[in-house]
Chains A and B, each alone.
Chain A
């Protein structure tokens, strides 16, 4: 399963947790461990790839939430250094235009970002994505629409 889907999961998590790239390996690893643990409960209501994306979304959500609390606590306690960041050569070199859109996606509110990345960027059918994210299809489409509008506004502000 890891050999088949790790590239997809790395890419997906990097997009929805782009502010937390220093722990992307941990997120990927936790996602596959959870998938391994939950495999007997896989209901075949979506493809395996979409199902793993759903797990990755939950893992990323928990991580971002906990990391926010932890950093807030650490900032209050002491000015401690952060974990070793990803090296610059591991970040993909991109044009200015691409960097803008990466930043814009990262700036989206989490529900809009997840919906946009899963449905538009990863091209997961909305019906499957709704099952994986445990939400309604209509809600997902609304989030995708709002994400597109927000991205367009952000890019317009930067002169694109």
Chain B
């Protein structure tokens, strides 16, 4: 028998032909089983990924914005309370520490100003006035007390 004849014969015969009842049974099983397969359709993946990227970008922008803002603000913390002041001009470029007895003010560029009062013997306005006198770009004395 030639190879062509073998190929031709092989194409025409099949060892098994399923009856329709068996095909229908497999079809039914598949329909049931498919409901238990967790799938994530590709069409939904892109919008979800896009939304997640936007949220991450928004969070990053918010973080950057608050960091930038914190550099133009400083906080004065006392034992009796705290206040936050806007720094209208550029904040000091270097770490600045002012000492006045038990009171110290630390100006930290890009991270705001931290002042720690251990005795609360100096008023906030006095500290600001001192800062204003000693540092040219210090803010005006009108602050946003909190």
A positions within 8 Å CB-CB of B: 2-3, 6, 10-11, 14-15, 18, 21, 24-25, 28-29, 32-33, 36-37, 39-40, 86, 90-92, 94, 97-98, 101-102, 105-106, 116, 120-121, 123, 148, 151-152, 155-156, 160
Contact = CB atoms under 8 A, between A and B. Distances in A.
B48 interface: no
Contact of A21 (B9, B10, B16, B29): B16
A150 to B, nearest CB: 10
Nearest to A155: B1
B13 to A, nearest CB: 4
Interface residues of B, number: 29
A90 B33 contact: no
B18 to A, nearest CB: 5
Interface of B: 1, 3, 6-7, 9-19, 22-23, 25-27, 29-30, 33-34, 37, 39-42
A33 B6 contact: no
Contacts of B19: 90
Nearest to B45: A40
Contacts of A152: 1, 3, 6
B10 A120 contact: yes
A111 B103 CA distance: 86
Contacts of A32: 26, 30
Contact of B18 (A15, A25, A98): A25
A28 B10 CA distance: 21
Contacts of A14: 14-16
A24 B18 contact: yes
19 contacts: A6-B26, A10-B16, A10-B17, A14-B14, A24-B16, A25-B18, A33-B33, A39-B39, A86-B16, A90-B16, A98-B12, A98-B13, A101-B6, A105-B10, A121-B7, A121-B10, A148-B6, A151-B10, A156-B1
